[in-house]
Amino acid sequence: MKFTEESIIEKINSTHGWIDANDLADYFGVSTRTIRNYIKNIKQVNPSLIYSSNKGYMINKRAYENREKNEEIDNANLNRVNYVINQLIVSKDPIDMFDLADNLAISDTYFSRVLTMTKEHLKPFDLTIDKKRNKIWITGQEKNIRRLISKLLLTQDDNFICFNNPFSSLKSQDIDSLRKDLVFILESFQYYANDYGLNTILLHIVIMIDRVKSSRIMNEMQQRRRFYAKELQMIKEITHYLESNYNIEITSSDAYSLGVVIINNCAHTGDTSFSKGNINLYLEDNYQELAEEVLSNVAQHYGLEPFSESFIVTFSIHIMNLVNRAKDNNYTHNPLKNAFQGNYPLIYDMATYITKWLRDKLNIHINDDEISFIAFHIGAYLENTNINKEKVNCCFVYAQYHNFHVKAIEKILHKLENEIFISSNISVTELDMIPSDVELVITPCPISKKQISLPVIATSMFISNTDINNIYNCACKIMQERTKKKIINSLQYFIQSNLFHKELYTETKEEMIHLLANECIKLNLVEPSYENEVLDRESLSSTSYSNGVATPHSLNMSAKRSFLSVVINDKPTLWGKRNVNIIMMIGTSIVDREAFKLLFDELIAILYDEENVRKIIKCNTYEEFTYTLSNMIQNSGE
């Protein structure tokens, strides 16, 4: 069975009694974490639909029946709207309204309501419906109609494009063949497109083929972009391939539009690897300088080590393509954006910071899909370089015998150089000389707990893989406990009793931001500009999560003193497209950026568990809240 929110609901509904997350995960072949995240999303839309307990999940039958009735109405109207749009797009001539109403089996009066809904669906694409007597048709530029078709295709499959649709004569096997041939041509010119970029190009081509076959020609476009000779040659070959294989004639406007989409979603691999010395051969304008500047700001702002030269080079290419996509209003669809934001909030926030910087610097709009792609780049880099991973301070205790301990230490450090460092090594006869800052003792000697209060890993004389694994596991646990302690300390520092609110409601999220920001301004925690900074961050991408939590904050670490303003409500507040019960407005000063990084990630991780959210919502006082949250942090990962 296909894994969707709807299939989870149906599986729970078909189960007699309770079903736990492990059984659901086994049934769908996914992780229990994925199951929990999907159920959180379901409950965000319909909180009463699924019961949760330590036994697992069970459907609320009454809510399920009511949902079916409401969804039948909503889905019926959406299907009617899509039917009208499909007919108007496919038809070459105006369509009779009464015929559409008859085909939909609804009255003429009710069709007027459907037509109004259809017009609302067309507004974001700068399209409208014109009417003469009883005939209607879509009016607007061809490029906007193609944008609409693209959106409709993407809506049908949230992961990758579904081509079985009323707008395309191409079948799945045709698409597979087209994909392979397109990749071959791109590679012959030393260009590469990842799966997301390739999908965007294919979608554009499929729509173009059928529109051109129907004599729907792209209007003359202002050709803003100048292609290099090699790019022009590649575009010409792809155009010729399409004309020959699909019996169409591609105009200069369509060829230009296709070229823009291809170049915006590809990277030139070149004959050699990219470097700081040769990157300008593949870049337009000053994108390398832009990448260096924004990444330097990110490193300074978030307290990171400077980004490597190789990453700056590859990120320059991503920025160039991103900016060109933004200028051409031709974004790459990213189906993983919501999951990434929820699982890696700090990395997503770094990406949002970069987005704001580029927006202000270049005066362009960057959507949520593109923010997520920036987050992919930053996240992969941080993961690969193990930035900010603190090592565990160890002491090796030995019994002198032909300097065996020297080789043992060398082997341990060779295997675990990223996790530990051995600051001292002493004889077993000098245990009282172990430095006070040591966190872990490693020794092949028998030592009792009475002799040392520190954690001790007993090894064999000749260090084995089992010994290495034991040291690694203990070091990881120490690092985890150290991090928890830092987070709890920073939590107590960030949260002030006069910024804790229970049952505080406003009509809109903007009013809530105004209320909380104004309170912080009066307490001299931030400057008056803070409210606009928070609203500006919110305009880039909503800070609400599917777990019922919102974390409004400024991208600038401009607070005079770090704080966390907390609102806990029994009834949800609409925050963007999500309902939230917990609002945490974060303000950080530059001196507290390390604490902010730790706290921000941990808070979202803790509050991503719906059981934790329920416990937090039950807290009525500042003392209850800090005590409960501290316990959650302390027990996390166990």
In angstroms, rounded to a whole number, what is the distance separating the alpha carbons of residues 549 and 543? 8
**DSSP letters spanning 146-202:** HHHHHHHHHHH-SSS----STT----HHHHHHHHHHHHHHHHHTTEE--HHHHHHHH
In angstroms, rounded to a whole number, what is the distance separating the alpha carbons of residues 488 and 630? 6
Contact 564, 584 (CB under 8 A): yes
Q: Going by C-beta distance under 8 Å and a sequence separation of 6 or more, which residues neighbour residue 582?
A: 548, 549, 550, 566, 567, 568, 569, 607, 613, 616, 617
* Lookup result for tokens 């609110």: 501
**DSSP letters spanning 227-250:** --HHHHHHHHHHHHHHHHHHT---
| pLDDT value for 426 | 85
Helix, strand, coil in percent for the chain, rounding step 5: 55, 15, 30
pLDDT means per 10 residues in the chain (638 residues)?
A: 75 87 82 80 78 86 70 69 85 88 84 88 88 90 83 55 51 78 88 76 84 78 71 90 89 85 73 53 72 88 76 80 75 60 75 89 82 81 59 86 77 86 84 84 84 87 89 89 79 82 92 94 92 91 85 87 90 87 88 72 78 90 89 75
In angstroms, rounded to a whole number, what is the distance separating the alpha carbons of residues 622 and 626? 6
Supply 540's token pair. Answer: 């880039």
| pLDDT value for 164 | 46
The answer to whether the pTM exceeds 0.85 is no
Q: What would you report as the CA-atom Rg of the chain, rounded to the nearest whole angstrom?
A: 29
| pLDDT value for 565 | 92
Dihedral over alpha carbons 22, 28, 31, 33 (to 10 degrees) = -80
| pLDDT value for 251 | 87
Q: Going by C-beta distance under 8 Å and a sequence separation of 6 or more, which residues neighbour residue 44?
A: 546, 547, 548, 578, 579
| pLDDT value for 420 | 87
Spell 490-512 as b/e; 16+ CB within 10 A means b.
Answer: bbeebbbeebbbbeeeeeebeeb
C-alpha 542 chain-centroid distance: 12
Spell 42-54 as b/e; 16+ CB within 10 A means b.
Answer: bbbebeebbebee
In angstroms, rounded to a whole number, what is the distance separating the alpha carbons of residues 196 and 325? 13
> In the chain, what is the straight-line distance between the N-terminal and C-terminal CA atoms, in Å?
33
Give percent above pLDDT 90 in the chain.
15
